């Protein structure tokens, strides 16, 4: 197949199985082991972490730290989109050429809002330079055997967002992912993605355009809600997936898939890491341990420094001790006489933003809510991208119910003795 004969966006989308659930590109966090795990829990398509095009093209040490013989494996790691950040078209092409035979598309990062992206002039900080964005996309479109795609953020002005999206597509992007937040919405100022703007863009762009939505995915049912409200082809998740791979499980309502026990998920992930080539999965391991266990560590704080002081380069036997300790703690929880009473998922009322918060036992994987000025983000008024009014966001699950399924094991055992 020559470059000019390559499939267009809809043909590519069909060829890779019409994916509906997508693991987002995340800096150092959507590496091979995490992709393998996420696919087991319902992810249809995965993006690599963001690779720095210049370093990937020119520095073998960097490239080997990010990419291994197993990345892009046709049996274990496809379909796959490789994402680069760049501000030099020729360098971007050079990097993309190194992996075009081991992935299904190359994505240009236009959404990273972090300070390092501003300093390096890439990601969302290219939003003022449309000419450069066009050149970056177009050089891949004209010279690769596989398609180029792009992931963008929106502007405060939806009309400007539309013109921006049209330019990206005109340059040659075959898939368009729209993260419904602005560039300034990050960290404690993250707020809510605007699905109305995503829907507006979807409606105004060509009907056959492959279109993915990103933002506001906390639970599996949010996937269907997002698809219905935005009419996108598929839904991408970053943070939701990062703290709970089961966010993509939609085959049924099995809570052991949608909100897996942390001991089971941690063991499964750890065994995958041990089976992976290269160093990227090993280097990301500690961060994934902390995120998978974030609610668990709020109760069993004694494990936090143990994980913190263990090097990712330590022998796997040291990490095995941590996994075994988590397994032991959770096993004791499940030996409680009242486990069926406390091992439940509480569903709150419908919030003004359209979904419902859940209260999940701390020994199960669950979403993460940032603490802003000492208050959990899901109990604050939240800004919606592109809108001036704030949305009240307060969980309707009662305080007593939250306490009942969030108390430490020691308190459960004490309460059991008192009741006896």
CA 114, CA 48: separation in Å to the nearest integer? Answer: 18
Cβ contact 378:352 at 8 Å = no
Residue labelled with tokens 């604050």: 380
CATH class given for the domain over 3-256: alpha beta
Residue 243, H or E segment: helix 239-243
β-bridge mates for residue 392, sequence order: 381
% of the chain surpassing 90 pLDDT = 76
* Residues found in the chain: 420
Residues known to be catalytic: 112
The predicted pLDDT at position 374 comes to 47
Residue labelled with tokens 């969980």: 395
Listed in order, strand segments (DSSP E) in 276-324 are none
The predicted pLDDT at position 232 comes to 98
Please, what is the end-to-end C-alpha distance for the chain in angstroms? 74
The predicted pLDDT at position 403 comes to 34
CA 269, CA 277: separation in Å to the nearest integer? Answer: 14
Question: What is the phi/psi pair of residue 210, to 5°?
Answer: -75, 125
Residue 16 to residues 13, 65, 228: CA-CA distances in angstroms? 5, 27, 22
Listed in order, strand segments (DSSP E) in 280-369 are 346-350, 356-359
Cβ contact 164:22 at 8 Å = no
Cβ contact 376:369 at 8 Å = yes
Q: Which of the 8 DSSP states describes residue 25? A: P
The predicted pLDDT at position 116 comes to 75
CA 244, CA 366: separation in Å to the nearest integer? Answer: 5
CA 269, CA 29: separation in Å to the nearest integer? Answer: 13
**Residue ranges of the chain with per-residue pLDDT less than 50:** 1-4, 373-375, 379, 395-420
Helix axes 89-97, 130-143, angle to 10 degrees: 30
CA 187, CA 164: separation in Å to the nearest integer? Answer: 24
Distance of alpha carbon 162 from its chain centroid, rounded? Answer: 24
Residue labelled with tokens 């596989």: 146
Cβ contact 174:149 at 8 Å = yes
Cβ contact 220:248 at 8 Å = yes
The predicted pLDDT at position 386 comes to 67
- C-beta atoms surrounding 301 within 10 Å: 10
Both structure tokens of 5 = 């004969």
The C-alpha angle 139, 144, 146, rounded to 5 degrees, equals: 125
Cβ contact 189:222 at 8 Å = no
The predicted pLDDT at position 376 comes to 53
pTM of the model: 0.89
């Amino acid at each position: 197949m020559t470059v000019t004969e390559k499939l267009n966006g809809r043909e590519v989308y069909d060829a890779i199985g019409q994916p509906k659930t997508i693991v987002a590109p995340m800096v150092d966090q959507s590496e091979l082991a995490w992709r393998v795990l996420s696919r087991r829990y319902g992810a249809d398509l995965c993006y690599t972490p963001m690779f720095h095009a210049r370093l990937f093209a020119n520095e073998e040490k960097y490239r080997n730290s990010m990419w291994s013989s197993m990345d892009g494996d046709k049996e274990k790691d496809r379909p796959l989109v490789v994402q680069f950040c760049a501000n030099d078209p020729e360098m971007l092409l050079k990097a993309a050429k190194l992996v075009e035979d081991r992935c299904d598309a190359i994505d240009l990062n236009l959404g990273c809002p972090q300070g390092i992206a501003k300093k390096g002039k890439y990601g969302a900080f290219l939003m003022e330079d449309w000419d450069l964005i066009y050149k970056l996309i177009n050089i891949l479109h004209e010279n690769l055997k596989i398609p180029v795609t792009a992931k963008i953020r929106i502007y405060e002005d939806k009309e400007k967002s539309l013109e921006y999206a049209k330019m990206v597509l005109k340059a040659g992007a075959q898939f368009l992912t729209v993260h419904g937040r602005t560039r300034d919405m990050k960290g404690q100022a993250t707020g809510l993605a605007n699905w109305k703007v995503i829907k507006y863009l979807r409606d105004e762009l060509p009907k056959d355009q492959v279109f993915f939505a990103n933002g506001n995915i906390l639970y599996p049912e949010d996937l269907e809600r997002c698809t219905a409200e935005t009419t996108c082809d598929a839904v991408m998740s970053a943070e939701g997936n990062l703290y709970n791979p089961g966010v993509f499980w939609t085959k049924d309502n099995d809570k052991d898939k949608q909100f897996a026990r942390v001991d089971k998920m941690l063991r499964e992930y750890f065994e995958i890491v041990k089976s992976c080539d290269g160093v990227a999965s090993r280097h990301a391991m500690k961060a994934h341990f902390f995120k998978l266990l974030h609610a668990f560590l709020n109760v069993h704080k004694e494990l936090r420094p143990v994980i913190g002081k263990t090097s990712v380069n330590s022998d796997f036997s040291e990490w095995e001790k941590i996994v075994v300790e988590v397994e032991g703690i959770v096993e004791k929880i499940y030996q409680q006489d009242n486990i069926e009473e406390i091992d439940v998922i509480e569903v709150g009322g419908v919030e003004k933003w359209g979904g419902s918060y859940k209260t999940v036992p701390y020994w199960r994987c669950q979403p993460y809510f940032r603490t802003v000025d000492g208050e959990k983000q899901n109990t604050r008024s939240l800004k919606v991208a592109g809108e001036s009014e704030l949305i009240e966001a307060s969980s309707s699950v009662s305080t007593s119910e939250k306490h009942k399924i969030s108390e430490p094991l020691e308190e459960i055992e004490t309460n059991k003795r008192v009741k006896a």
